[in-house]
């Protein structure tokens, strides 16, 4: 069931009061922290300098990692977009979600999101970027699922195009100047022949405006950029789906344009992470704001670009649409001056479904009982001995399933019989299948897989 009506009414009154004081006076330091969750799209574990990237420049995220906490075993909810976001919003793994693939799904009134929960506690709630849970006049629209403000795409397929004809500001269609679609049925309305207004830059500007407008009250902001996802349809039409206004520092490299574009997209995104951090400092709310950065799944090989080009999955096996580590293990960085110790690291296995209980914990809100996630606030605050540990992590994508319990990882692929077994503590690249040597472990993990799907 949704948050009770009386609670919503009270939260609305609290929101009004906090909004009034946000205009009239500086922020009260005793308020709960602002929370910013930045999520890239198809960014690989090895795409950032702080996770081993040697060619693409990501100085702001590298600095964020040096000044904060780097998560080396952080996992997406799935290996593709929509179900991964569903897991993030609801605090549930793929055994307890209505979809485990990119099948269409619209949020229903019974679904409870992290935004609804924080809104009920007096937070201003905003988001920019890719939304995949329902559009205008559906129960899945972001405004009906906890977000006071949303700017961006409502359809994940339309989000392939970085030069769309329009974006959405809540329920208002915002026409983007100069962008003209080809009109071809072949490219499904996802390729533009005239390209003037770059969507990513608008998303960033709107995110920063939201921060300015709510600087004196607690806010939750989800920044779900589409970079560095390829324009798949554009790639099929032209061979180059890595859409970016310019190649920046890579313009003079003797590389194919797809390679320049892929690198330029990531460095542009890194630049904008730096802009957000700088804005928090200018507004003097950096110590009251926790930023978490990650990616929705592993790296792609689409739009004419190959993930091997920059070793985007680092030491991991597989990429987007795999349940090997390369498809689901993603970079994770938490930054919160004066709260998170600089230069720290955690290898504790955590996942997208942990965000909802973590956000609630930080906001002082009791989360729903039926969750798969757990709060990782103790890890953020350097209290690893107080951190709850998952009995296991579970994923499902179509006919593929995977489970991790401590150092052990089992994978079932659609085309192979039985489970593959890997010891991630000694074989992060999943190269040595140990299933024949450890039949008891296979039986144990297989039973947990069955229990995970309710």
Widest Cα–Cα separation across the chain: 68
Where among 377, 393, 409 does a domain terminate?
393
Segment 307-326 mean pLDDT: 98
Q: Contacts for 185-191 with beta carbons within 8 Å, 24 or more apart?
A: 186/233, 186/237, 187/233, 187/234, 187/236, 187/237, 188/157, 188/233, 189/158, 190/157, 190/158, 190/160, 190/161, 190/231, 190/232, 190/233, 190/234, 191/161, 191/231, 191/233, 191/234, 191/237
Q: Provide the CA 107 distance to its chain's centre, in angstroms.
A: 18
Judge whether residue 22 has pLDDT over 80: no
The pLDDT assigned to 3 comes to 59
Please say whether the beta carbons of 424 and 316 come within 8 A: no
Other residues' Cβ atoms within 10 Å of the Cβ of residue 370? 10
Segment 252-281 mean pLDDT: 98
Where among 341, 374, 393 does a domain terminate?
393
Judge whether residue 8 has pLDDT over 60: no
Tracing tokens 């799935």 back to the chain, one arrives at 78
Same domain, yes or no, for 191 and 72?
yes
The pLDDT assigned to 28 comes to 78
Compute CA distances 404 → 43, 70, 429, whole Å.
22, 20, 14
Tens of pLDDT, residues 202-252: 999 999 999 999 999 999 999 999 999 999 999 998 999 999 999 999 999
The pLDDT assigned to 393 comes to 98
The pLDDT assigned to 50 comes to 98
Same domain, yes or no, for 384 and 454?
no
The pLDDT assigned to 415 comes to 77
The pLDDT assigned to 403 comes to 98
Same domain, yes or no, for 379 and 407?
no
Judge whether residue 323 has pLDDT over 90: yes
Specify the CATH number for the domain of residue 56: 3.40.720.10
The pLDDT assigned to 52 comes to 98
Same domain, yes or no, for 237 and 109?
yes
Question: Where does the pLDDT of residue 454 fall: very low under 50, low under 70, confident under 90, or very high at 90 and above?
Answer: confident
User: How far apart (Å, rounded) are the C-alpha atoms in residues 129 and 312?
Assistant: 22
What the block records as the tokens of 106 is 């619209």
Tracing tokens 């560095």 back to the chain, one arrives at 228
Same domain, yes or no, for 418 and 382?
no
For 394, phi then psi, to 5°, come to -130, 140
Same domain, yes or no, for 376 and 336?
yes
Q: Which pairing describes strands 192-194 and 219-224: parallel, antiparallel, or unpaired?
A: unpaired
Spell 40-77 as b/e; 16+ CB within 10 A means b: bbbbbbbbbbbbebeebbbebbbbbbebbbbbebbbbb
Tracing tokens 């909802």 back to the chain, one arrives at 356
Same domain, yes or no, for 408 and 388?
no
pTM above 0.85, yes or no: yes
Same domain, yes or no, for 160 and 191?
yes
State the residue range of the domain holding 361. Answer: 5-393
Same domain, yes or no, for 113 and 226?
yes
Tens of pLDDT, residues 418-436: 999 999 999 999 999 999 9
Specify the CATH number for the domain of residue 442: 3.30.1120.10
Where among 358, 374, 393 does a domain terminate?
393
Same domain, yes or no, for 354 and 407?
no
Judge whether residue 17 has pLDDT over 60: no
User: Omega of the bond prior to 231 within 30 degrees of 0, cis?
Assistant: no
Judge whether residue 19 has pLDDT over 90: no
Same domain, yes or no, for 197 and 213?
yes
The pLDDT assigned to 6 comes to 39
Number of independent structural domains in the chain:
2
Spell 323-342 as b/e; 16+ CB within 10 A means b: bbbbbbbbbbbbbbbebbee
Tens of pLDDT, residues 36-67: 999 999 999 999 999 999 999 999 999 999 99
- CA dihedral sign, ordered 340, 341, 345, 349: negative
Tens of pLDDT, residues 77-104: 999 999 999 999 999 999 999 999 999 9
Same domain, yes or no, for 122 and 12?
yes
Q: Is 254 exposed, middle or buried (0-12, 13-18, 19+ CB in 10 A)?
A: exposed
Question: Where does the pLDDT of residue 331 fall: very low under 50, low under 70, confident under 90, or very high at 90 and above?
Answer: very high
């Amino acid at each position: 069931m949704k948050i009770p009506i009386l609670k919503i009414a009270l939260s609305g009154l609290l929101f009004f009061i906090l909004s009034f004081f946000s205009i009239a006076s500086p922020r009260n330091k005793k308020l709960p922290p602002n929370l910013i969750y930045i999520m890239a799209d198809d960014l690989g574990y090895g795409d950032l300098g702080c996770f081993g990237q040697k060619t693409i420049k990501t100085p702001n995220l590298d600095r964020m990692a040096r000044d904060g906490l780097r998560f080396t075993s952080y996992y997406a909810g799935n290996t593709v977009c929509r179900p991964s976001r569903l897991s993030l919003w609801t605090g549930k793994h793929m055994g307890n979600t209505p979809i485990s693939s990119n099948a269409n799904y619209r949020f229903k009134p019974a679904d409870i999101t992290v935004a609804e929960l924080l809104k009920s506690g007096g937070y201003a709630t905003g988001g920019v970027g890719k939304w995949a849970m329902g559009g205008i006049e559906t129960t899945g629209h972001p405004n009906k699922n906890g977000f006071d403000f949303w700017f961006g795409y409502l359809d994940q397929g339309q989000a392939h195009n970085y030069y769309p004809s329009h974006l959405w500001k809540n329920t208002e269609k915002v026409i983007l100047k100069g962008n003209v679609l080809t009109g071809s049925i072949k490219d499904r309305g996802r390729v533009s022949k005239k390209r003037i207004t770059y969507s990513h830059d608008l998303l960033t500007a709107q995110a920063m405006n939201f921060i300015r407008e709510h600087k004196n009250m607690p806010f939750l902001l989800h920044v779900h950029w589409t970079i560095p996802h390829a324009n798949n349809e554009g790639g099929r039409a032209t061979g180059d789906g890595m859409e970016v206004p310019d190649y920046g520092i890579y313009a003079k490299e003797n590389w194919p344009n797809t390679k320049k574009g892929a690198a330029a997209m990531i460095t542009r995104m890194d630049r904008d992470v730096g802009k957000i951090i700088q804005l928090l400092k200018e507004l003097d709310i950096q110590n009251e704001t926790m930023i978490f950065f990650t990616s929705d799944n592993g790296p792609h090989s689409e739009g004419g670009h190959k993930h091997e080009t920059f070793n985007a999955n680092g030491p991991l096996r597989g990429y987007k649409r795999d349940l090997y580590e390369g498809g689901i293990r993603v970079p994770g960085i938490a930054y919160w001056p004066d709260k998170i110790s600089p230069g720290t690291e955690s290898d504790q296995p955590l996942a997208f479904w942990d965000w909802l209980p973590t956000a609630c914990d930080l906001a002082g809100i009791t989360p729903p009982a039926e969750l798969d996630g757990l709060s990782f606030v103790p890890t953020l605050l350097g209290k690893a001995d107080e951190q709850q540990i998952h009995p296991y992590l579970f994923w499902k994508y179509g006919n593929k399933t995977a489970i991790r319990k401590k150092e052990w990882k089992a994978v079932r692929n659609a085309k192979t019989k039985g489970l593959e077994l890997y010891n991630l503590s000694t074989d992060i690249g999943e190269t040595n299948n140990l299933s024949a040597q450890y039949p008891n472990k296979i039986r144990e993990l297989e039973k947990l897989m069955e229990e995970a799907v309710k």
